[in-house]
Structure 1
Amino acid sequence: MSETEYLEERVEDQIQWFDRKSAINKTWYRRCQLVQLIAAALITLSGIFIGKSGLYLQYLIPLLGAIIAIISGILSLYKFQENWIQYRTTAENLQQEKYLFLGRSIPYDEPEPLKLFVERVEAMISHENNNWGQNMRKVSKEHQSGLRDIL
């Protein structure tokens, strides 16, 4: 694989993938946080209406509490914030590595820098894949432990 092919087909592709995944996780994290914030604020504000329309509040307050609990579970399970930060970091690291390589800056100021570049980029990608696998195993164990606690 030539230098140009590797840069375009592997490095750019991975930078774009991590960038997209980072943006998706950021969006979901912020949406969930916003829903939690609004639900918590509505629970607090519902105290103003106690006695005036208690029938609605007896259903609304527990419903809002359940929404907060569900969103907390979703955030814990899918780890949107952690993924957002990790994917963004990996995308930025790959981008920086690409620019160091293109500029033939240290450590790429040697006669054949492509081999070192490929090794370093693949190590970053492999590290990210390993982190993802570890996180999935951790989530699976937490999920199984939570099910045992419920049962």
Structure 2
Amino acid sequence: MNISEQTYIKERLDDQIDWYDKKSIKSQQHYKCLKGLEIALSALIPLLIGFIEDWKVWSTIIGVFGVLITGIEGWLSLTKCHENWIEYRSICETLKHEKYMYLTKTGVYDIEQPFKTLVERVESIISKENVNWANLNNSESRGK
């Protein structure tokens, strides 16, 4: 398959940068929202402890908060929002770096035919991430 530089940059590189950027932002939002809720619930527990003597319902509310905190932390651990946010952002920035180094013909792209090097490096970055993701999911499904 023969593909032009402009087509590759637009349909592959820019598309991947956009995908990783959106995934990073979404993972960051989920993580910060859930972590913020967890922190707020945790901070309310010591305050509400003082009201237990006046209204026994507060002990139930505090217990529910504890369950919610545990559930949120479990969900964050299971979905790996924080790790995905960092990983997706790192890959996005690495792909941007490759793109701008290529466009300015600097570093490893300061050669006669830099397009081949760009494709090899970009595909290597994407492939490595896919392998890491597959390994992570396989190890989790085996209970490791």
TM-score (norm 2): 0.94
Preserved contact between residue 48 and residue 58 of structure 2 (Cα < 8 Å) = yes
1:70 and 2:74 are equivalent in the alignment: no
Q: Report if aligned partners of 1:77, 1:139 keep a CA contact under 8 Å in 2.
A: no
SS state of the match for residue 49, structure 1?
coil
Q: Which runs of no fewer than 5 residues in structure 1 stay unpaired?
A: 146-151
Paired with 2:66 and 2:95, the residues of 1 have a C-alpha distance of 42
Structure 2 counterparts to residues 1-151 of structure 1, below 5 A: 1-54=3-56, 56-142=57-143
Cα deviation, 1:2-48, whole Å, max 9, x if unaligned, reads: 00000000000000000000000000000110111111112111112
- CA RMSD across the alignment: 1.1
Give runs of ≥4 in structure 1 deviating > 4 Å: none
Change in CA separation of 1:46 and 1:141 when aligned onto 2, cut-off 3 Å: farther
Q: In structure 2, how many angstroms separate the alpha carbons of the residues matched to 1:70 and 1:135?
A: 22
- Cα deviation, 1:99-149, whole Å, max 9, x if unaligned, reads 00011112111111111110000000011111111221233234xx7xxxx
Once residues 45 and 58 of structure 1 are traced to their aligned partners in structure 2, the CA distance between those partners, rounded to angstroms, is: 12
d(CA) in 2 for partners of 1:85 and 1:32? Answer: 16
Q: Percent identity?
A: 39
